Amino acid sequence: MRIVYYNFIIIFVGILAQILIWNIKKPKLTSRSIFFIFSLCNLIAFAFLFDLNNMDLLYSFIFQIFFILSYILLFTAIEIPSPTFTILLYIKEKNSVSPEELTRLFDKNAFVETKINDLVVGNLISIQGNKIISTSKCRNAIFPFVFLRKLFGIKRFGG
Amino acid sequence: MLGLFFLFLSFFSIVFSQIIIIRIFPILGVVRTFFISFLLNLSALILINLVYFDNASYVVLNSFIFVLFSFCYFGVVNGGDTSLRIRVLREIVENKIDDMPTLLNIIDDKKTLFIRLERLTQNGQLVYTNNEYSLGKSRLLYLAILFDYLRKIFGYKSIN
């Protein structure tokens, strides 16, 4: 079980390093920064600290790649508050809320604008005045979502 | 290397089995069919690995890798339903929306609010009585509290 412990130690150290860095200064490019932190932890651990055979290294590499991808996916939900979680926490605080009160909470378009801004920072779209320009990265990013839903035979998209 | 082959086969298998299940039983929806194919494929992978590997650590790692892959896959599958970012991208790419006022007219916070309220009420997370929403089941609320707590650990402001 040595290889399993080693991989979890790297994850633990990576998360601690990220908490430390994030509390000092939050980077603009979140996903890239997370990828860099965990890649560095892996590089140091496997090059200098842990002695593993080639098969163990291959498994660790695959494990770490999927962990980093999952973690980035999870972290986007932590970084930018979801409207669903905002609704639930607001109702928890007030016990019961009328639709009118909730509408007031969602009056400033803050959620949509934050998401659009996030897409601009991620270089998926650019905005010039009122004009939205999509990049090739944008078309590639949407492809798996559209393709899977076609395979499932679902036309409806939520949001 | 056969262990790796089974692992990659399970990646295809979870996607393929979900397509078959959802095509046969569309009423089950994306989330339920995902969990059914996830459990089926994880059980099959663990069984095959127990037969193939002598070393328990590879069985554990393979299972973890499969769970992580499934998590990423679920993000893509469920993103089409729940992600606001994907909705924005889709309006821009597929519906050729290229100016902000039109985009904000199609997707705004109020519309998002009512889509979410409807979904939360449908799956029992919220209860709507006497023109007021109150909490129903607690599953998503616990997740919201956890995420709010994690935000604080990473130095972000609390959600509310």
B155 touches chain A (CB under 8 A): yes
Q: Could you tell me which residues are beta bridge partners of residue A125?
A: A134
What pLDDT score was predicted for residue A147? 86
- β-pair partners for A124: none
pTM given for the model:
0.85
Phi, psi (5° rounding) for residue A125? -140, 160
Cβ pair B31, B58 in contact under 8 A: no
Of the two residues B54 and A22, the one the predictor is more confident about is: A22
Query: From the centroid of its chain, how far is CA A123?
Result: 15
Predicted local distance difference test score (pLDDT) of residue A159 = 56
Task: Mark yes or no for CB contact A148/B77 under 8 Å.
Answer: yes
pLDDT score at A157: 58
Type of residue numbered A9: I
- The Cα of A39 is separated from the nearest Cα of chain B by a number of Å equal to 17
Q: Is the dihedral of CA A54, A59, A60, A65 positive or negative?
A: positive
Burial B58-78 (b: 16+ CB within 10 A, else e): bbbbbbbbbebbbbbbbbbbb
Minimum-distance CB partner of A112 among B7, B75, B104: B104
Mean pLDDT of chain A, nearest integer:
87
> Percent helix, strand and coil across chain A, each rounded to 5?
75, 5, 20
Residues of A in contact with B99 (CB under 8 A): 130-132
Please give the residue of chain B at the shortest CA–CA distance from A153: B23
Residue B89 near residue A139, CB atoms below 8 Å = no
Chain A environment of B88 (Cβ under 8 Å):
112, 115-116, 119, 159
Beta strands in A27-124 (DSSP E): 96-97
Q: What is the pLDDT along chain B (160 residues), one digit of tens a residue?
A: 788 888 899 999 999 999 999 999 988 888 899 999 999 999 999 999 888 887 788 889 999 999 999 999 998 888 877 788 888 888 888 888 888 888 888 887 888 888 888 889 988 999 999 889 999 888 889 999 999 999 999 999 887 6
Q: Does residue B50 contact residue B59 with C-beta atoms inside 8 Å? A: yes
Mutation for B interface: A96, A124, A125, A133, most B CBs within 10 A = A96
Contact residues for A19 (Cβ-Cβ < 8 A; gap 6+): B153, B154
B110 interfacial to chain A (CB closer than 8 Å) = yes
Contact A112 B108 (CB under 8 A): yes
pLDDT reported for residue A52: 80
| Residue in the structure block whose two tokens are 């651990």 | A45
From B11, which residue of chain A is nearest by alpha-carbon distance?
A66
Selected residue with higher pLDDT from A62 and B159: A62
Residue among A69, A84, A117 nearest B88 (CA)? A117
Q: How many Å apart are CA B65 and CA B61, to the nearest integer?
A: 6
**Facing residue for A132 by CB, picked from B99, B120, B145:** B99
pLDDT tens readout for residues A85-108? 989 999 998 888 888 888 888 777
pLDDT of res. A18 = 96
Q: Choose between A13 and A143: higher pLDDT.
A: A13
Q: Which long-range contacts (CB under 8 A, 24 or more apart) does A23-26 make?
A: A23/B154, A23/B155, A26/B155
Least Cα distance to B45 among B72, B16, B9 occurs for: B9
Question: Residue B5 carries which side chain, given as an amino acid letter?
Answer: F
Of the candidates A91, A96, A67, A30, which has an alpha carbon nearest to the alpha carbon of residue B144? A91
Q: Of B11, B12, B159, which to mutate for an interface test with A (greatest number of A Cβ within 10 Å)?
A: B159
Chain B environment of A1 (Cβ under 8 Å): 56-57, 60
Q: What distances in angstroms separate CA A9 from CA A5, A126, B80, B87, one per listed residue?
A: 6, 40, 34, 37
Confidence of residue A133 (pLDDT cuts 50, 70, 90): confident
Q: Which residues of chain A have a CB within 8 Å of the CB of B26?
A: 153
Query: What ipTM describes this predicted complex?
Result: 0.84
